Chains A and B, each alone.
Chain A
Amino acid sequence: MNCEEYREAIATDPSFDGGAGHLNECAACQQYRSDMQALDQRISRALAIDVPELQVPELPELSTSKSDKVVALHRRQLAPQTWFAMAATVVVAALLGVRLVGTGIEYDSLADEILAHLDGEPNALRVTDVAITAKRLNAVVPADIALMDHSAGLITYAQTCPIGGRDVPHLVIQGERGPVTILLMPEEKISGPQRLSGDNVNGIILPVGNGSIAIIGERDERLDRIEESVLKSVVWST
């Protein structure tokens, strides 16, 4: 490590403790380090402004009742080809000595499965204003599944996720009250719109052609505009 590299490291983080070999031999860098640490102490003191006493706003009561769920479909039956795929997976896993976890989970409804999936993927619900790249969006929503543009909103998360035994695009856009989940399910045909609600969320599964799209936001999120923009921005390819 030379002087330039050492000073670069110290200037980005004065607590940097690498480069001991160089530091022991360079008095100038010892002085630089000491100066930067003194500067940081001053910065730290300046940033530590007085904080007013905590005043918690009036917090609304939140329902935790499971009876909030509006949707109560029949127990979901997986399609024969899905059972075959799962059986094949188990055989392959057994041959490879892989221990499968959670393959026996059965959900009462598509809504239940979606809510359980959201619980298992909290990172998706990160509040952010950074959009994913077009490359990422195209990777998760390939042209053979659907054509989708960016007009649905600020898309901040995209991942392929298993729903109903199939891999489907799981997207998140930022709504008025927080992240809004969008699940594109081109092969999940439903007969009509299904409302769903969880402890703190509300949403809807909309029939779209031979598939469906789930849109889930926070309890007080207004989903109607988001529904409209999502439906305009997605066209199934199949």
Chain B
Amino acid sequence: MHSNKAADARRQRFDRQVGIYHQDMYRYAAWLSRDKTIAEDVVQEALLRAWKSLDALRDDSSAKQWLLTIVRRENARYFERKRLETVDIDNLTASQAALLAEQPDEALDEMRLAIYELEDDYREPLVLQVLMGFSTNEIAEQMGLKQGAVLTRLHRARAKLKDQMARS
């Protein structure tokens, strides 16, 4: 009886955190992998891992960073397993192209393509800052970088996107 209650409480806690952060997990996975199908796989693996190690999360206020860290690790594992080639923008699979599916807003399409083409090192800190609301300190911790490196990457990422938008 007691263990059932504990199991229920654990499941409720899991559902609550995943309910709040599922969108962030998926979008982070999608922009890391640049592939919607891979993102779905990565999120599924990340959910399983999060479930198994939920007790390691002592403070729910850290849940977002904790879950995104798991997504990042699962994404790395996925690519280690599959040893995927780098993406050729002119030869995308349907799943990769789905991320760039045309929107009614042409300017949005252009920006999405420009972000898609950014190097991983620039795209990831940008996603963490703009989409996830991480501070540069938190990005540095997440990516295992010094804060100065994060600032440089964010600066360059925006400069590249600005140039790209000016050209298009």
Interface residues of A (CB under 8 A from B): 8, 11-14, 35-36, 39-40, 42-49, 51-52, 54-57, 59-62, 64-65, 122, 125-130, 177-178, 199-200, 218-220
Contact = CB atoms under 8 A, between A and B. Distances in A.
Contact of A64 (B3, B56, B162): B3
Nearest to B107: A42
B111 A46 contact: yes
A60 B44 CA distance: 13
- The B interface, classified by DSSP as helix, strand, loop or mixed, is helix
Given A11-B154, A126-B69, A43 B23 contact: no
Interface in B115-154: 115, 126-127, 129-131, 136, 143-144, 151, 154
- The A interface, classified by DSSP as helix, strand, loop or mixed, is loop
Contacts of B126: 43, 47
A140 B46 CA distance: 31
Given A43-B126, A51-B26, A127-B69, A122 B58 contact: yes
A52 B40 contact: yes
Q: Which 7 A-B pairs have CB atoms at the shortest separation, nearest pair first?
A: A130-B144, A46-B111, A127-B73, A46-B112, A12-B154, A47-B131, A54-B22
B57 interface: yes
A65 B161 CA distance: 54
Given A12-B158, A57-B44, A219-B52, 20 more contacts: A11-B154, A13-B136, A39-B161, A40-B158, A42-B165, A43-B111, A43-B126, A44-B130, A46-B112, A49-B27, A51-B22, A51-B23, A51-B27, A59-B14, A60-B48, A62-B7, A122-B56, A127-B70, A128-B69, A130-B143
Nearest to A63: B3
Contact of B52 (A42, A55, A64, A218): A218
Interface of B: 3, 6-7, 10-11, 14-15, 18-19, 22-23, 26-27, 30-31, 40, 44, 47-49, 51-53, 55-58, 69-70, 72-73, 76, 99, 107-108, 111-112, 115, 126-127, 129-131, 136, 143-144, 151, 154-155, 158-159, 161-162, 165
Contacts of A62: 7, 10, 51-52
B5 to A, nearest CB: 10
Contacts of B49: 127, 177-178
15 contacts: A13-B129, A14-B158, A36-B162, A45-B108, A49-B30, A59-B11, A59-B48, A62-B52, A125-B53, A125-B56, A127-B69, A127-B70, A127-B72, A130-B143, A178-B53
Nearest to A131: B144
A155 to B, nearest CB: 13
Contacts of B165: 39, 42
A54 B107 CA distance: 29
Nearest to B62: A122
Contacts of B72: 127
A56 B76 CA distance: 21
B1 to A, nearest CB: 13
Contact of B155 (A8, A39, A45, A60): A8
